[in-house]
Amino acid sequence: MKHKMLVVVLALALILPAAAVQAQGDGVTLQFWHTYNETSPENEMLVTTLIPMFEEAHPGIKVESVPFPYGEFRQTLLTSLAGGEGPDLARLDIIWSPEFAALGVLEPLDEIMPDFEELAAAVFPGPLSTNVYDGHTYGLPLDTNTRVFMWNKTLYERAGLEGPPATIDELKAQCEPIKALGDDIYLFSDGGTYGWAVLPWIWSFGGDITDPEITRASGYLNSEATVAAYEFLAEMVNSGCFSPSFLGGGMDTGQGYFNDIFASMLDGPWMFPIAEAQYPDFEIQAALMPAGPGGSISVVGGENIAVFKGSRDTEAALEFLRFTQSDEYQLKMSEVGQLTVKPALLEDEYFQNHPYYGVFLEQLQTARARTPHPTWTQMEEILSDAGQLILRGEASAQEALDAAAEEIDSLLAEGL
C-alpha cells in the first residue's frame, strides 16, 4: 500500500511541472537584458510602468527584465550567447553593437522587419548608424546622450568663481582658486583614461583616433593635436588640478562631485534623476564642454536595442522592440534621464520647457561617437594604457601615442 502511494506521488510530481508548462503554452516569456541602473528611477520606470503597459496591450507575451551592472554586461552576454542561453532582446551600449553584429548573433532588422524603413526614418541618423555593420542594420537606437560640463556651485562660490569656463584655457585658470580651498579638493575629475573620458578632450583639442574610414590610427592618434590634449591632461593631473582618479581606483567621480570634493566633471543626463533621488538638496549646474582649438566637442553615448538570433519567439521580440520605439516609451524614459532618439518628440512641450535637456541637445549638435568598429574594445584598451603611461609620466605623450597608433594600425589591418 505504502509503495503504491509513493508511486502515485512520484508520478504526480513528474506530471505537475509539465502541466504547469502546458498551462502557459500559448504565451511566451521574453528575456530582456539591459543595464538600466537599478539604483536610479529608470529601472523602476521599465519594470513598474512600461513592461506592464506592453503586456497589457499584448496578451500572451510576457517580458522578463534582467538588469546587469554595466561593467559585467558585455562579458556575461558573450558567455551566455556562447552557451546558447542568451536573451531574446538586449539593450546594448552603442559601442558594442558592431562587435555583436560581427559575431553573427544579432538579427538583421532591415531584412526581417517589413516596417523597418518607417521605424528607421523616425530616429536620429547618428545613433541609428551605430547599428550598421557590413551593410545591414542590426538594431534600433533606444536612447542617446552626451557628456556636458557639470560644475559644483558650492565650491565655485567658495572659490569666488563666477561660473563655468567657456574654454579650456579658462578652465585651466580656475585651478588656482579651487586649489586654494584645500589640497584634497580638485578642479575636475574622471575615472580613468578610457575613451568615454579622454575623447572629449582629444576632439576639443582638434585631435582624433583614426581616419574617418577607420583604416589607420597613425597620423591621427599621434597627431600634434592629440598629443597636445594628452599633454594637457598630464599637466593637470600632475599639478593636482585634476584628481588622481584619472589613474584608476580613485574616488567615484559622481560621489566626489556631490560631496563637494570635485568642483566639476563631465557627465550625462542620468545624473539629474540620481541627484534628485540621492542628494535632493544638491543643484547640478550644467554647461557645454569647454571649447578648445577644435571646438566644444563631447562624446555621444547611448544604447541600442537588438533582437538575438535563436530568440524563443522572434515576432514577439520584434513587437517589444517596436514598443520601445513608440512615443510613449520614449517620453516615459526621457522623464528619467534617458533622452529620446526621436527628433519629432523634441517639438513636444515636454522638451521645450525641460529644466535640463536643453544643454544636452545643444551639445549633441557637435558631439561625436566613439569609433564604431568591431575591435573597439581592443582599441580602447590600447588607448587607455597609453593614457596611463602618459599621466604617470612614464612616457612622453608623443612616444606613447606613436606606439599606440602603431598597435591600432595592426589591429585594424588584422580585423576581429
Partner 1 sequence: MPAQSQIHARPRRVPLLAGRLSRPAGAHLRYRWYVPYLFLLPGLSLYLLWMVYPLGYEFYISFFDWKIMPGQTSQYIGLENYRRVLDDKYFWLSLENTVRYTVVTVIGQMVIGLALAVLVHRVFIAKRLFRAIYYLPVVTSWVVVSFLFQFIFSSHPGGLANYVLTQLGLLSAPVAWMSETKTAWVIIYTLGIWKGIGWSMVIFLAALQGIPVELYEAAAIDGAGEWGQFRRVTLPLIRRTTLFVLVALIIGGFQVFISVYLITGGGPLHRTEVVLSYMYDRAFDRLWFGYGAAISYILAAIVVFISFVQMRFFRQTDEE
240 lines the binding site for partner 1 (CB under 8 A): no
Region from 136-144, 150-158, 247-255, 285-293 binding partner 1, contact rule CB under 8 A: 247-255
**Only segment of 59-67, 216-224, 244-252, 272-280 that touches partner 1 (CB under 8 A):** 244-252
Binding segment for partner 1 (CB under 8 A), chosen from 21-29, 101-109, 173-181, 330-338, is 101-109
Q: Does 280 bind partner 1 (CB under 8 A)?
A: no
Which of residues 92, 101, 105, 401 is near partner 1 by CB under 8 A? 105
Grid cell digits, residue 324: 520601445
Closer residue to partner 1 in complex, CB, 259/352: 259
Pairwise CA distance, residues 269 & 351, whole Å: 13
Contact 217, 408 (CB under 8 A): yes
Which DSSP string do the residues of 122-139 spell out, in sequence order? TS-HHHHHTTEETTEE--
Q: 78 or 225, CB closer to partner 1?
A: 78
Least separation in angstroms between residue 299's CB and partner 1 is 22
CB of 390 to partner 1, least distance (A): 11
Nearer to partner 1, 48 or 75 (CB): 75
Task: Please enumerate in sequence order all residues whose Cβ is within 8 A of that of 312, keeping only pairs 6 or more positions apart, or say none.
Answer: 28, 29, 30, 88
Q: Considering the complex, what minimum distance in angstroms separates the CB of residue 79 from partner 1?
A: 6
Annotate each residue in 302-331 with x if it binds partner 1 (CB under 8 A) or - if it does not, as one string: --------x---------------------
Roughly what angle, to the nearest 10 degrees, separates helices 314-324 and 327-334?
60
Of the pair 110, 385, the CB lying nearest partner 1 is at: 385
Instruction: Say which residues have a Cβ less than 8 Å from residue 278's Cβ, sequence separation at least 6.
Output: 39, 258
Q: Applying CB under 8 A, what is the total number of residues that bind partner 1?
A: 23
Rounded to an integer, what distance in angstroms lies between the CA atom of residue 386 and that of residue 404? 6
Cα dihedral 199→202→205→209 (10° resolution): -120
Question: In 58-124, which residue ranges form alpha helices assigned H by DSSP?
Answer: 70-82, 97-102, 109-112, 116-121
Contact track, partner 1, 66-85, x by CB under 8 A: ---------x--xx-xx-x-
Which one, 45 or 233, has the nearer CB to partner 1? 233
Least Å distance between CB 375 and partner 1? 10
Q: How far is the CB of 135 from partner 1 (least distance, A)?
A: 19
Alpha helices in 279-396 (DSSP H): 314-324, 327-334, 349-352, 357-364, 376-391
* Strand ranges of the sheet holding 285-287, from the earlier edge strand across to the other edge: 264-267, 148-151, 285-287
> Which cell is 94 given?
552603442
* Residues in contact with partner 1, shown as a per-residue x/- string from 174 to 193 under the rule CB under 8 A: ----------x---------
Interaction site with partner 1 (CB under 8 A):
75, 78-79, 81-82, 84, 103-105, 184, 244, 247-251, 310, 377-378, 385, 388-389, 392
